[in-house]
Structure 1
Amino acid sequence: MIHIRPAVVPSGATAPSDAHALAAALLRIREYLRPWEPYRAERYYTAEGQAERLTDGGERWVAVDGDAIVALATLSGIVEGPFRSASLGYWVDPAYAGQGVATQLVAEVCRGAREELGLHRIEACTMLDNHASQRVLAKSGFERIGTAPNYLHIDGAWRDHHLFQRILHDDPPPHP
């Protein structure tokens, strides 16, 4: 059974975290993700590299099946103040694709972004031919707001991307 939870961030040299399980998952699906990902240094695929990523300031949620991480979602570029927005990225192990894992994961991220982080808006982007991810975003309440030419350098070339957003609420930001 798949369980969605926040990623466990390393807090000390002996503290358990999700770094080892993330490294194992990324190594397992490395070739599958290659067409959708930017160039990654070898360190990225190590527990040490994942421990660094877990402490880089973003928020992460994982989908786990037993002890294995089978999906990851990240909110990065979190901006507070009047913008109250972040960027969403995610991946799912291909063995779990088409089973609703991504939709469940994105729903949990949206809930956490609103209830725990107080965000107003989440943005996401997909390469033009990533129809599966576009379906996940549509099912999750995101709307397409445009197309950006040469938006990200993915798999060795600048790629066009469709841009999406989801407005989480219309409440005013908290006063400082």
Structure 2
Amino acid sequence: MPDGVTPVALPAGVTLRLVGIDDGPALAAARRRDREHLAPWEPVRPEGFEDVDQHVDRIRDQLDGHRAGRLVPYVLEQDGRIVGSLTVSDVVLGAFCSAHVGYWLASDLTGHGVMTAAVRASAVQARDVLGLHRLQAATLPHNTPSQHVLARAGFEQIGYAPAYLQIAGRWQDHVLFQRILHD
């Protein structure tokens, strides 16, 4: 993965930065804190998902994928506390030059522009560091806060995907968004 993925200051004293192997305990604690807030928007998590060792293993895998150029795993940090994550994943270069973006944010920070700023910053780094042309994201149709984040970050709705992802234990439709990075 190219150098140049640098930390970015966001609203509310939050910083967007590359995840580190030492973030395992703080990330596990963040996921435990917001378990109920995140459950309706995510796949059913396996037993032990919130264990520190599981997070360290996932971070290790993410950093391997980062070094191989397949993804950029960010965390959002406020006063030493992990308050969210954002991942640019499924990076495809060549004629496509595209990737997906997914994210979550602690419940106490939603509605303050933090995630909008994080998505914007990740788009700039996707363009300038990774050389990508496009980012795609998907939301549940009833997840209007996430749709507003994407719209404010310059994404446009491009479609509707029936039974797109298995979320909260069932296959659910999603609204698809994209942002062209070389306007």
Q: What TM-score does the superposition give when structure 2 sets the normalisation length?
A: 0.85
> Structure 1: 5+ residue runs without aligned partners?
11-16, 171-176
Q: What's the % identity of the aligned pairs?
A: 45
Question: Number of residue pairs matched?
Answer: 164
The equivalent residue for 2:28 is 23
Work out whether 1:128 is the aligned partner of 2:141.
yes
Give, in whole Å, the separation in 2 of the partners of 1:120 and 1:102. Answer: 21
Other structure's SS at 1:86 match: strand
Residue 89 in structure 1 maps to residue 89 in structure 2: no
**Counterpart code for 2:54:** G
CA distance in 2, matches of 1:78, 1:130: 25
Q: What TM-score results when the alignment is normalised by the length of structure 1?
A: 0.88
1:144 counterpart residue number: 157
> Which has a greater percent of helix?
2
Q: How many angstroms apart in 2 are the aligned matches of 1:101 and 1:122?
A: 19
The correspondence of residues 21-170 of structure 1 with structure 2, limited to 5 A, is: 21-54=26-59, 55-56=61-62, 57=65, 58-169=71-182
> Residue type matched to 1:126 in 2?
T
Q: Could you tell me which amino acid in structure 2 is paired with residue 110 of structure 1?
A: A
Aligned equivalents of 2:52, 2:102: Cα separation in 1 = 20
Structure 1 residue 40, shift from structure 2 partner: 1.1
- Distance (whole Å) between structure 2 residues aligned to residue 115 and residue 51 of structure 1: 29
The question of whether the paired residues in 1 share the 8 Å contact of 2:15 and 2:78 is answered with no
Residues 109-157 of structure 1, C-alpha deviations (whole Å, 9 max, x = no match)? 1111111111111000000000000000000000000000000000011
Q: Structure 2: where are the runs of 5+ without partners?
A: 1-11, 66-70
In 2, are the aligned partners of 1:127 and 1:161 still within 8 Å (CA)?
A: yes
8 Å CA contact 1:63–1:101 kept in 2: the answer is no
Query: Equivalent residue for 1:13?
Result: none
Kindly state the Cα deviation for residue 4 of structure 1 after the two structures are TM-superposed: 2.1
Corresponding residue for 1:14? none
What SS does structure 2 have at the residue aligned with 1:41? coil
**1:40 counterpart letter in structure 2:** R
Q: Give the letter for the 1:98 counterpart.
A: G
User: Would you say the 8 A contact 2:14–2:114 is kept in 1?
Assistant: no
Which 4+ runs in 1 deviate beyond 6 A? none
TM-superposition CA deviations, 1:50-98 (whole Å, max 9, x none): 2222233131222211111112111111111111111110011110110
2:17 matched to which residue of 1? 6
